[in-house]
Chain A
Amino acid sequence: MIKIRNLYKSFGKLEVLKDISTDIAKGDVVAIIGPSGSGKSTFLRCLNLLEVPTSGQVWIGEDEITNPKINIMKVRQKIGMVFQHFHLFPHMDTLGNITYAPMKVKGLKEAEAKQKAMELLKKVGLEDKANEYPVRLSGGQKQRVAIARALAMEPEIMLFDEPTSALDPEMVKEVLDVMKSLAQSGMTMAIVTHEMGFAREVADRVFFLEEGRLLEDTPPVEFFSNPKTERAKAFLDKIL
């Protein structure tokens, strides 16, 4: 589903990602962890070209998105993304947020888009908030709307960039629960997270990044009990 070869990314002189190569299969749930500044978010953002890699290749399915000739807008329709700070559209209500892209990009009729949006809202437990504006929602509710918005495009892959880092502690669970059920439904997911419990329970694989290198790609049970590298060990010692 996702193929990454020799991915490099620099911001000016700062080399943020160094020679990352890996594959993510359909249905894989990957937790990306590592110290801050290790390049986790940049890595995730290279997968839908919100950051353009300096060199290397990324395939999404059959499409090589690092090929300048590719229609990235088309590929992005297949990749949902959820941000740390939600980025809901503040001038649209919940339904408006969810139906905008399916109507504008995919040309869905309003009735159809709304019906789909209501189903998704039900899934994330927010049917009663359909006509609220984002300012009236709590952080956890905003993030669940953001997930519904991404799912409304019927993506094949979902990227999560620290989806619970901006939330009050009591709201983390409601978002993680939605993500868990999404993982169980077979969605291919890449999640930058600091929620180690969630990573251990839900992920199929853990990517450990440090200083822009992919140091480990290990099943979670093994990673958390017996990490391969000293650096991962040191990292886990600090946070667990």
Chain B
Amino acid sequence: MNLDFSQIVPSIPFILKGIWVTLQIVSVSLIFGFILGTILSIFKIGKLAILRWFADAYTSIFRGTPLILQLFLIYFATPQLTGIDISAYAAAVLTFGLNSAAYVSEIIRAGIQAVDKGQREAAEALGVPYRPMLINIILPQAIKNILPALVNEFITLTKESAIISTIGVLDIMRRAQIVSAERYIAFEPLMFAAILYYIMVMALTLLGRLLERRMRRSD
């Protein structure tokens, strides 16, 4: 066994720059996925059958196929089909956003439906219209059910973002691979990348716990 972490020291700043790339892609996809997921979840609980059908089909497709395949379809296949070249960065954000929306919409739908239906009836009996009922009565209660699962989804997204290295985005994973190839060592740069991902996930976990604790104050 010959492990020598000092070999990667000169490359550490190069790998560290990947944190910014990963964070950027994850946070933009996260926001995109959250907004789209919220819209889809509203379709799912709504009255219009066509929108419900659309949202269900959407979720079914994005959950039913591999993420890496979706990424390749968007990055490699879309230009072939449309002639429009898409940057690796845009393809990554688009894929992760679209994919995450499918999961987020299920999380929010389940969270909303877990709120006692008496809450809705009480609001209806008071003459409160649908939209304020959803926003002021149902959603604040649903958040408590939604939050832990949502943090989980964000963690998954952060880790899964490593597959964007396959389309050449210079994220943590890709940079670790480059260092590995340059110096003919595998363990040290990969281990370093693993630690970076782990720290990011721990930070998210902690943030989730803090938020949850704040929410429980009214219990």
Q: Which residues of A contact B (CB under 8 A)?
A: 48, 50, 73-77, 79-81, 83, 85, 87-91, 100-101, 104-105, 133, 135, 149-150, 153
Contacts and interface: CB of A to CB of B under 8 A. Distances in A.
B60 interface: no
B128 interface: yes
| Chain B interface helix/strand/loop/mixed | helix
Contacts of A81: 122, 125
Interface string B92-129: 00000000000000000000000010110111111111
13 contacts: A50-B121, A74-B127, A76-B125, A76-B127, A83-B118, A88-B122, A91-B218, A100-B126, A104-B128, A104-B136, A150-B125, A150-B126, A153-B127
Contacts of B129: 73, 105
Given A89-B137, A91-B140, A133-B218, A76 B116 contact: no
Contacts of B136: 100, 104
Nearest to B121: A50
A88 B123 CA distance: 9
Contacts, number: 59
Interface of B: 116, 118-119, 121-129, 132, 136-137, 140-141, 218-219
Contacts of A88: 122
A160 to B, nearest CB: 12
Contacts of A104: 128, 132, 136
Contact of B127 (A91, A105, A133, A149): A105
A120 B105 CA distance: 41
